[in-house]
Amino acid sequence: MVTAFFPAIAAISLPKVVFLVGLVGVFVAGLAEFRQGHIGRPAIFINALLLWQIFYSAWNTLPNWFQLYLNTGTVVGLIAIIAYIPEPKIKLPTKFYQFCYYAYGSFSIIAVVILANYLKISLF
């Protein structure tokens, strides 16, 4: 699994207030993404990292499909950030951006946090 790549010291436990302020920031970013109608490669990468920051402490309690979602986000985020490097120029297909917009956009992160709350997954 991907957890082998993330040592325990890399996951920082944030206070609840910082977490809630961060969600407000994610909501604002989601509004910008919605207005533009797409998500950029750096935002895909950052959202994948944010998902790991939120759910790393609850990894052992997550359902398998949820772990697969996080692992897929890691792969997608790495592809996006590698494609962002200026040389060599890598063009990603439109379907990639559409998938990322719906699966790893800022509003999707908020929906995943709400879903985790509904599934009674402790995030704090």
* pLDDT tens, residue by residue, 43-99: 889 889 888 888 888 888 888 999 999 999 999 999 998 888 877 778 888 899 899
| pLDDT 10s digits, 22-56 | 777 777 777 777 777 778 888 889 889 888 888 88
Which pTM was predicted? 0.74
Listed by start position, the domains of the chain span 15-118
**Tokens (6 digits) for 68:** 């697969």
CA distance 112 to 63: 13
Closest CA relative to residue 109, chosen from 57, 63, 62, 43: 43
